[in-house]
Every structure is written in structure tokens, then in C-alpha cells.
């Protein structure tokens, strides 16, 4: 009887360990597949022919169709950030620092991160669903049979387009966010346009713009790579397309936070040196 109880306990412990290790194993396998996918992208991106027409079409699709959403998001962020912060600064008699505070906060961290998250939902899910539907309907297989390189035409163009357009969208979102902050300051404290933006640019340095721009480039690269990876290797069936789009957004959002943490950590080390 004692050995039976011991066997039952052992089996339950082993099943619990397996239930914990299987998700970890699947996650590590997916990281390895994504790493191989990334290496293949860099290899294919330098090979001819270069699909300039498809690249420009994807730039228009990602940039122009995401511009309104990014603009509205940036405008609301500027309004809310100023409305939430102004009473505290007014209490300490430091309301004159508002333009500098908003400018540094938006350009260093809030603007790039929020814009990247919005684009992860807008662009990443779109890429995953589009390529996933092409995989399910065997269009990618048909391109391979016809002698076309589907990876070059579908993946490389989309990743390069997202890498280029996300930093531009971040700049637009930052500018509109600063304008929203100016509207609040002008309504509350009658601050002129010239005074507000002169204080914003006076508080900014090259060290504020460069890390944010580099970080935005990596954000765009991550959004394009994960979206293409999830869609290119989509499971069969219509349900697989939905899972590809959903997992692309979730995985990209987590990856954006990791990239942001690494960028802030490296920047702090650089400033200390």
C-alpha cells in the first residue's frame, strides 16, 4: 500500500513537471524558429532582385493607413499628460517647466512606446492575417511552384517597410502630442505657440533624440518580423489565421517591452560612462 501511494505521488509530480516544461519548451522552440527566420530575412534582403514596387506599396499601406490612428493617439496622450501633470506642477510653483517635461517625456519614452504598441495592433495583426490567409489558401505554395521567391516578395518588403515607417510615425505622433499639450497650456495659462515650443526644443538634446530614433527602428523591425513569422507559418484552417493575427500582437507587445527595457538600460550605462 505504501508503494502504491508513493507511485501515485510520483506520477502526479512528474505530470506537474511535464505540464510546466511543455510550454517552456514550446516557447524556446518558437524563439529558435524566429531567430532562424530573422537570419533568413537579413540574408534575403541583400539578394537581388529588389522588390521596390512592393516595398513602396507596403510603405504606403503601413504609413498612410496608420497615420490617423497614430495622430489621434498622440493628440490624446499630449492632452492627458498635460492635464494630469499641470495641477502637481502648479502646486509646487513649477508650471513653467511643463513644456520641457512634456517634450522630454513624449520624445524619450511615451511617444515611441505608445506608437509602437498601436502599430503592433494595427500593422502586426494585419501582416499576420494577410500572410496567414495566403498560407491557408495555398497562395504562398503556388508562388513557390511558379519559381517566385515568396519570402523575398512577401516578408522582406513588409519588414523593411515597417522598419522605415514606424520611426516616421513616431515623429508624427510626437509632434501631434506636443501640439495637444500646447492647446491645454494655451487654454489654461495663455502660453503662446512660440514660447511653448522654444522651451520644448531648448530642453531637448541630441542624446534625447538619438536613443528614441534607434529604439523606434528596432520597434519597427520587431513588428514586421513577428507579424510575418506568425503569418508565414500559419496553421491550416481559418482558425489558424485568427490565431496568427492574435499571437502576432501579443508576442510583438511583449517583445517591444523587452526591447524598450534593453534600450533604456544601455542608454543609462552609456550616460554613466
| pLDDT (tens digit per residue) in 183-219 | 988 888 778 888 889 989 888 888 788 888 999 999 9
Give the model's pLDDT for residue 257: 93
* End-to-end alpha carbon distance in the chain: 67
Report whether 176 contacts 126 (CB < 8 A): no
Give the model's pLDDT for residue 2: 47
All residue ranges of the chain with pLDDT < 70 are 1-20, 22-23, 271-273
Residues with Cβ within 8 Å of residue 238, at least 6 apart in sequence: 136
List helix spans (H) across 137-237. Answer: 139-145, 150, 157-189, 193-203, 206-232
How far apart CA 56 and CA 200 sit, in angstroms, is: 34
Residues with Cβ within 8 Å of residue 110, at least 6 apart in sequence: 77, 81, 177
Give the model's pLDDT for residue 220: 94
Provide the whole-model pTM. Answer: 0.87
Amino acid at each position: 500500500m505504501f508503494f502504491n501511494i508513493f507511485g501515485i505521488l510520483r506520477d502526479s509530480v512528474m505530470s506537474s513537471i511535464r505540464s510546466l516544461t511543455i510550454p517552456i519548451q514550446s516557447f524556446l522552440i518558437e524563439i529558435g524558429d524566429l531567430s532562424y527566420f530573422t537570419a533568413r530575412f537579413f540574408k534575403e534582403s541583400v539578394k537581388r532582385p529588389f522588390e521596390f514596387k512592393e516595398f513602396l506599396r507596403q510603405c504606403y499601406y503601413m504609413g498612410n493607413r496608420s497615420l490617423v490612428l497614430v495622430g489621434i493617439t498622440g493628440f490624446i496622450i499630449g492632452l492627458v499628460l498635460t492635464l494630469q501633470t499641470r495641477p502637481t506642477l502648479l502646486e509646487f510653483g513649477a508650471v513653467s517647466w511643463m513644456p520641457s517635461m512634456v517634450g522630454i517625456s513624449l520624445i524619450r519614452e511615451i511617444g515611441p512606446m505608445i506608437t509602437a504598441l498601436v502599430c503592433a495592433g494595427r500593422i502586426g495583426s494585419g501582416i499576420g492575417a494577410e500572410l496567414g490567409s495566403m498560407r491557408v489558401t495555398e497562395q504562398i505554395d503556388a508562388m513557390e511552384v511558379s519559381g517566385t521567391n515568396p519570402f523575398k516578395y512577401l516578408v522582406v518588403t513588409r519588414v523593411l517597410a515597417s522598419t522605415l515607417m514606424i520611426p516616421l510615425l513616431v515623429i508624427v505622433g510626437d509632434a501631434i502630442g506636443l501640439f495637444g499639450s500646447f492647446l491645454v497650456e494655451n487654454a489654461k495659462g495663455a502660453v503662446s505657440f512660440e514660447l511653448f515650443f522654444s522651451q520644448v526644443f531648448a530642453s531637448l538634446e541630441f542624446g534625447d533624440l538619438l536613443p528614441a530614433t534607434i529604439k523606434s527602428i528596432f520597434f519597427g523591425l520587431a513588428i514586421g518580423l513577428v507579424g510575418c513569422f506568425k503569418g508565414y507559418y500559419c496553421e491550416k484552417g481559418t482558425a489558424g489565421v485568427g490565431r496568427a493575427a492574435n499571437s502576432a500582437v501579443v508576442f510583438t507587445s511583449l517583445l517591444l517591452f523587452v526591447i524598450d527595457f534593453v534600450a533604456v538600460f544601455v542608454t543609462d550605462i552609456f550616460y554613466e560612462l
